[in-house]
Amino acid sequence: MAGSSDFDLFRTSEEQDMLRDAIRSLAEAKIAPFAAEVDEQARFPQEAREALEANDLHAVHVPERYDGAGADALSTVIVIEEVARVCASSSLIPAVNKLGSLPVQLSGSEELKTRYLGALARREGMFSYCLSEPDAGSDAAGMKTRAVRDGDYWVLNGVKRWITNAGVSDFYTVMAVTDPDKRSKGISAFVVEKDDEGLSFGAPEKKLGIKGSPTREVYFDNVRIPADRIIGEEGTGFATAMKTLDHTRVTIAAQAIGIAQGALDYAKGYVQERKQFGKAVAEFQGVQFMLADMAMKLEAARQLTYAAAAKSERISGGGKEEDLTFFGAAAKCYASDVAMEITTDAVQLLGGYGYTRDYPVERMMRDAKITQIYEGTNQVQRIVMARNLPS
């Protein structure tokens, strides 16, 4: 049966189960103790970065030939999921390192791959992804940032908005218009470095959630970069950006299911300990039904995400998966909707305590919301799915 065969392709291996155990232990010991403080102070989770980099878990997707761990897409999902289970802000370190560097991996020259994927793997800097602009969010092809050729250089001018980990990352994949008459086919991709003259950052956004991951505007004021920092051929940047999102929407799904798992775990433990009317709250049928629904939807989201990860891996390995666009959008959309529902229910299960910052579920609820918005709102995901229905 096709269904059984497909399931076998994304079932976790013994090595992946061992990876999950290792990253969960690391996350609980080195990341979880700082999660509330990171949120409260809206500060970058430096402890998480150091722990992940020390264990080569900050960018596991980078191939071995560029000094990376060479992890497959499902293993990358597991890393992000387990970090997000304790701290969503910290999970954006491996997730955005993949988002920012994947255009180089997909379309860059061998020289660019060696230079920048190698630098990322060797912990020489983090990567960010610059696509959205003040007037070009869902309509990314409407961007206005320009790149003009000047001899052996490109000169960039413009503004990017909602850039995750901006100011912390050392490398930025930037989409810019090189031919304004061609709309999406006139957009090219470039690597810009943090210390390039003319690059600067706005103040951190004051956000509802993921407060430990800085989100800033990035300004390009006559930023002059060598011509060999273009990613792929001129005019292919938008296509590269969309291919990248096909893969990385799976990582947002992973973040969502990690947040949801953390909320479910905490709520389950709480209702087993909390007593009302002389018995544990977990013994009430209404509560049991809530927990059952939460677990059921979470597992469905996880399986859809793992299936999408398997398709992502087959494409990365040179295979052909025409329905990755659908599955990536479906995983991101469903997992994030489920995460918002599960975290909200977790707050409900804790009652008044769930509404206070003394308990982690309100943070998880706030963190979950962004997964329905970034890398394409869930309304956009439904448009993407409708246009790419699998046959």
Q: Report the phi/psi class of residue 148: left, alpha or beta, with left for phi > 0 and alpha for psi in -120 to 50.
A: beta
Question: Considering the domain 2-121, what is its CATH architecture?
Answer: Orthogonal Bundle (1.10)
Domain 238-387 has CATH 1.20.140.10: yes
Catalytic residue among 81, 217, 321, 375: 375
Structure tokens at 216: 């800033």
pLDDT score, position 318: 62
| 322-355 tens-digit pLDDT | 699 999 999 999 999 999 999 999 999 999 999 9
Q: What's the predicted TM-score (pTM) here? A: 0.95
266: Cβ contacts below 8 Å, ≥ 6 apart: 346, 359, 360, 361, 364
CATH class of 127-235: mainly beta
* φ/ψ of residue 103, rounded to 5: -55, -40
Contact 97, 213 (CB under 8 A): no
Radius of gyration, CA atoms only, the chain: 21
Specify the pLDDT at position 320. 60
Q: What is the reported pLDDT for 4?
A: 38
Angle between the 88-107 and 32-41 helix axes, to the nearest 10 degrees? Answer: 90
Domains 127-235 and 238-387 share a fold: no
**How confident is the model over 197-206, as pLDDT tens digits?**
999 999 999 9
- What is the structure's pLDDT at 7? 42
Domain ranges of the chain: 2-121, 127-235, 238-387
Query: In whole angstroms, what is the distance from residue 370 CA to residue 357 CA?
Result: 19
> Which residues, 6+ apart, have CB-to-CB distance to 174 below 8 Å?
130, 145, 156, 160, 189, 190, 191, 192, 218, 220
Annotation marks residue 283 as catalytic: no
340 forms beta bridges with none
**Cα–Cα distance list, 345 to 139, 266, 268, 340 (Å):** 33, 12, 11, 9
In the chain the first and final C-alpha atoms are separated, in Å, by 16
Stretches where the chain sits below pLDDT 70 are 1-10, 316-322
Q: CA angle, 272 as apex, 270 and 277 as ends, to 5°?
A: 105
Q: Is residue 254 a contact partner of residue 77, using CB atoms and an 8 Å limit?
A: yes
Amino acid at 349: L
Contact call for residues 68 and 60 (beta carbons, < 8 A): yes
Beta strands 153-164 and 215-226, pairing class: antiparallel
* Pair of tokens at residue 258: 């990690």
The conformational region for residue 125 under phi > 0 = left, psi -120 to 50 = alpha, else beta, is left
| Phi, psi angle pair for 108, to nearest 5° | -75, 160
Instruction: Report d(CA 375, CA 364) in Å as an integer.
Output: 19
